[in-house]
Structure 1
Amino acid sequence: MRPLSKRPGNPLRARLRQRLDLARRTGSAARAELATLFEAHERLQARFDLLRESTSDGLWDVELGERKLMDPANEFIWSEQVRRMVGYGDASELPNGLSSLLKLLHPDDVLPTVTAFTAHIHDRSGQTPYDVTYRLRCKSGEYRWFRALSHAQRNAAGHAIRVAGALTDITDRRAMLALKRYAEAIVASLPTGLMVLDGELTIQSMNRAFCDIVGLADEAQMRGQDFGAVIPKSAIRDLAAALLAAGDTRQGIGVDLGDKHLRVAMAAIVLAEGERRLLVMAEDVTEEQRLRDEARHNAARYRDQASLLDKARDAIIVRGIDGRVQFWNKGAQRLYGWSSEEVLGHRIDHWLYRDGPAASSAVVKITLEAGEWSGEIAQRRKDGALLTVEGYWTLVRDDAERPKAFLVINTDITQRKASDEKIRNLALYDTLTGLANRTLLTDRMASALERASQAEDPLAVLFLDLNRFKEINDTQGHGVGDQVLVKVARRFQAALREEEVLARLAGDEFVVVAERADAAVAARIAQRLVDAMQDPVATHGQTFPVGLSIGIATFPRDGACMDDLLKRADIAMYRAKAAGGGFMFYQPEMSVGLLERIELAKDLSNALAAGALELHFQPQVDLASGRAIGAEALLRWRDPQRGWVSPGVFIPIAESRGMICALGRWVLAEACRQMRAWVDAGLRFPGRLWINLAAQQLEEADLVASIRGITGAAGIAPGCLALELTESGLMADVEGSIRTMATLREDGFAIAIDDFGTGYSSLAYLKRLPADKLKIDMSFVRDMLTDRHDYTIVTTIIGMARNLGLDVIAEGVEEGAQAQALRSLGCGEAQGYFFGKPVPAEVFAEKWLMTA
């Protein structure tokens, strides 16, 4: 702040200037008067500075003159206290000026603050005050509340030429007021009566509940009155005085006030100023007392009758029309767990009935209308256990034929119901998974079809089959297989909505029936089911990747009866399975395809007999040098009408038609013939030629003799050949596989386990298998660079092979990055399109074989 003498427009300054001019003209007398005036000015300045520094408020001053409020020439000055209040040090941190204030104002307070200040300045009458509250942002970033007051100095025309004011921090005061209002609101809303007395037992205040309890319209009529005016009991007043004097507390004081019975508590407190107050709390327990008296009366009345009824095994209960228990025999206590003392005089429907008071209300209504009721109803014991009782209710009337009470006799039929339910479940539910069985599915599907037909709604039937589940059963046993089925069923249940019916038909076949489901809805359901099987199933310390194939048929497009819909969904499921899993909708041509598959099997048999099949050869390379170290012989079929037929199509047909063993023998014979031809042509084959043996071939008793005969007839030594056996095929008969492999290995054949990682072989068996090499399945190699799970599996297989002393080769390598990654992991061999596709013998020889 400037000293007063330095402020423009200061009257004292003007007077001093006049006296100074006079002193120059008149001499010593004027100079003496001027000195006196300067001395008065200094005293006044000192008093003002003292006043300014001693106040906690901040002071401010703005000189307007004839200028407008927002004119930059206006001099707006704050005291240092203003800066301290908002956390700033001096004018360098917070410069004087209206713009500094506006920057600190909370955005919501800028407009009302400026509006109020403008109105105060522009009111020439000076009747519009400036008294506002607003928030200022402190240097710390915190907003605090302030109250601003000002007064304007005006000229003769009423224009404000200077405005000065004070700023007060009211943040803590607002918080205290808010807390006080909060506390008062809580006290006012308490259901318990609360009254405050001073040291003379004079009433200071009472809440609304206390007024209601003692029958007062409001507290104002009793404020300032003696405590005895509210509770005119001398003994109670004496007790209150004693508690106040001793600073003590007393609870459970019974007070009769007219026809009311009160429970009173009193507690003395000492305020910060040392004054004493007495808190008096009151509850109206008239109804509670009435119930207690009534219960005692009822207990006495029925004591004799109870001694007889207690001998009954059933629960015998008398309940009043108001729902309160009047009688509770020993049978009820044994059945429900509550003693008579716990329930007499109480409404217990919310405890006793599983569905709450609504269940008993329906029975009460019927009994009041008909005089009696009987039936089954679900109830609850004290420990929370559910039970079902067979109840018989009779309406009891008084002498005037008015309804008086209900006599209730309840018999526990929980065990009988459980037995009935068990029998029903055995008939309608699958014992392993708990899902609906074929019988229940037939019933529910018939009802669903009837509803769909009447409402002309669509309906979808989804036929589900697990991929490769037979391998789990064959290799791990039915115990593990059953656990997998149970966990799969739980996943299906979690993926389906409550209204969608799920049933297990047999084995690994499931059916879903979805009402009001068109093709789009059915596809979404199928996708949820497929997604549910993305993660492997874990059981017995192992994990099993289980795929899913789903066929979908819809009503009415694909059939109007259950048999047609199931049959066509089944056909679509087999198509989905042939495509590698997922889901497919039934199409009419699929039924035609059934005949086509029969024709395909016949043509395949003819091609085999006519020698019309071919072998193609795919190189196997050393990852370090890139040189060929062997090749795999792969069966191909080019049909005259169909063209090239995929092995993924004709191999499953051969397996299902019992042709696979004959195909296997043909492949071995043709491979030996081709090897002999290359040798005779003077070509040197690098390493061994690898030939696949089907799982069904391992089941042939003469397999070893057959292989020896074919290779011997072609003049090919076992050291030139290697046999690949699938992991799952080996596990079908582990001990037999071990014996067969050992014999062939002793003959000189190399043995590889093909598609390793896709089966469910036990490590205990794996270490016993007389194998030379593990072949990593292409399903893991394909995504190993983008899927961390596949990468981990590949790494594990390579490490396992190394620890077991086996070589390892990866199939399906299609990118250089895959080859590089495999080599860095320790895999030395690979095959795949990156190195070369399967090609006919002459093309393979031209590229990969050299003259001896």
Structure 2
Amino acid sequence: MDSAQLQHANAFLKLVERTAFVGVWMIDLVNEKLVWSDQLAALHGAEPGFSPSLEKAFSFYAPEWREKVEALVQACATEGVAFDEEMQIVTLQGRRAWVRTLGHPVRDDSGRIVRVEGALQEIAPHGYPRGTLLRHTVSMGGAMGSGEAFVTVDREGQFNYINEEAERLLGRSADELLGKKFWSSFQKTVRFRLEERFHAAVARNEGIEFEELDARVSTWLEVRGFPFGGGFAAHFRDVTARHKSEEQLRLLESSIARLNDIVIITEAGPFSAPGPRIVFVNEAFERRTGYTRDEVLGRTPRLLQGPDTQRSELDHIRAALEQWEPVRVDLINYKKSGEPFWVDLDVSPVWDSSRKLTHWVAVGRDISERKSAEEKIQYLAFYDPLTKLPNRQLLLDRLHVALSDQERPREGALMFIDLDNFKILNDTLGHQKGDMLLQQVAERLRSCVAKGDTVARLGGDEFVILIENSSAKPLEPAAAARIVSDRILSTLGEPYVLPGYLHHSTCSIGVTLFGKAPCSVSELLKQADLAMYQAKSAGRNAVCFFDPEMQALVTANAALAADLRQAWRENQFLIDYQPQVGPDGRMTGVEALLRWDHPERGRVGPDHFIPTAEETSLIIPIGRWVLESACAQLAQWAKRPERRHLSIAVNVSVRQFRHPDFVDEVMHAIAHAGIEPQKLKLELTESLLADGIEVTVAKMGSLKEMGVTLSLDDFGMGYSSLSYLKRLPLDQLKIDREFVKEVLTDANDAAIARTIIGLAQSLGLGVIAEGVETEEQRAFLAAQGCPAYQGYLFCKPLPIAELEKFMAAMER
């Protein structure tokens, strides 16, 4: 390699090292020797020339990586398996650095692996902060210094003159070398070759020139000799740096060719079209883009750009490079096939020794998989995976934007949509068909709205539509919402084709308008939700617009709920008892009636607070307390013979009955009080039969097995059917006061009363009428066969103390 070639090699090596930031290494498997570049030494915090043993080199890897890198090198050396891994090293200063370690085998002509070559590159993957990258360059100068080494040898090759520079290069004094053969300083494997060449040159009286490694001082020497005074005179020059540079250049060229990252080097031309031209690409470029080296050399990197390549990022690159500054971007590039792919692109300028810009180097890592994962995560964060609709978070974001634009206040409508009786489909046909229905609903909802409107799924069977007014929509929000609502009711009411099943479904829609007055996102959602529940209360398959009266009712209910919680904490509830009598007018028992002794409003009847107690689940602890109180009262009466026959009827709410611990709570109350179970009568409402009949029958059966008396309250109000009734383990039917009230004046009520009494007799059940206020009513019911009564004709509900007085008077 002449000086011009060396200068070119130096320039290329610096170019590659400056831009790729690579340190190289080689393991000579034949001589069992490790060679490091100065860049690699600098990466590990060592001075140039530092060349550790293989064991020491492995020790630089962080403990958690050491075993793996040893296995990778071993597999490469024995099986020819190349590797490219990201791991951590620990420098001599104790700093941890993330690096890419790559290596590949080198074989001789027979195919035997003789070397493992590789490179290290400091990186910053997965959000790690970039470290101080390796920026040292290799010292590749080998020019002769001012003092030249000079020796003379006789015809036998023995030194007879050595100057001071020669002593320094050879590492021994003249006294040690004079009289010794010059080839004795070199490796044993080359001594005979040098001796043979020397004697041949003497015989022919020719000059001699060679380069060999002085093994004792690990120095490459260039020797030029010529006949002189019957022997030879020779000039020595240290060319170790040049040999090292050439070796490193070969390693670098081989490593760059095998990098998985794309490397593109362009000339430093102007950025105006067509732009700097490509002068080098590596193998990774060909593999990843589909272009061959011959197809791209002389062209510009513009050939990788396409319709989705970000103009903003290209402008960012141009602005940075016009200032001769490095730049890093994530860019969409295109393969020769037209397929897009993402690259993490580093572009750096390269200068020569005179600070003249010579090249641009771009190193790009394919991050398509990472970008795909990021897009998936982004999608999952804002879209419902089942229906592909925007989810709650994206809806809230869009609502916030719509409500917070102070400069251009937006008007629109928010629609809350809930499928009617969706739970029945899930329970009977399974969640898979339920999911299919939700997907079809989502498609139908999309078809009902205009472009720019948002259809979102909040979860379950709840959907929300955001309609925003714009110049493209001439209708007012209220009119637009009405049209869209009617369209939705019609579209969602069409049959749904599910596998093996034709399903019919309807929905309830609540609508609220915004834009006229300030309103928060949460308030708007509450208003639409409230209007939707109003639509359900109106019979389902309907639309209801929010009005302030709804809000007032909600506010009142919220205040009532707060008062109920305080009442429970402060023991403001009490129980009144209303007697139940037989055909002879004697008391057979009482009904326990819950009252609220409000500190300001006085006695509050159950009709005013039981629905709210149900909604807030306070009915569970309150109902448990009533049950335990009734059992305790039965225990007291059991001690007195004249009252031992009395029973107590306790009303059980739907939510209380459906609580999973209800049967156990009844059993515990009976056992704790030590009463006869049949003296406890549980009055169940017909609404229990509206849903979950199998569970209802099973629980009633458990209570019946315990001996508890079961009565069906408010019979005839709309849920009962003979098919259900004959399956229930009942003891008694209770005629509702609404039928008793007009039994003498309304033929229908009289007919219903007669039917209930007859039905009870045919099923072998007892029957009792409540709300009996006149003797005429009692007489009519008695004539029809009703043997038991409850009402003001006999006694109003009384506190326990007054009831005791009433019973004492009757007993006298």
TM-score bucket (shorter structure): 0.3 to 0.5
TM-score of the aligned structures, taking structure 2 as reference length: 0.36
TM-score of the aligned structures, taking structure 1 as reference length: 0.34
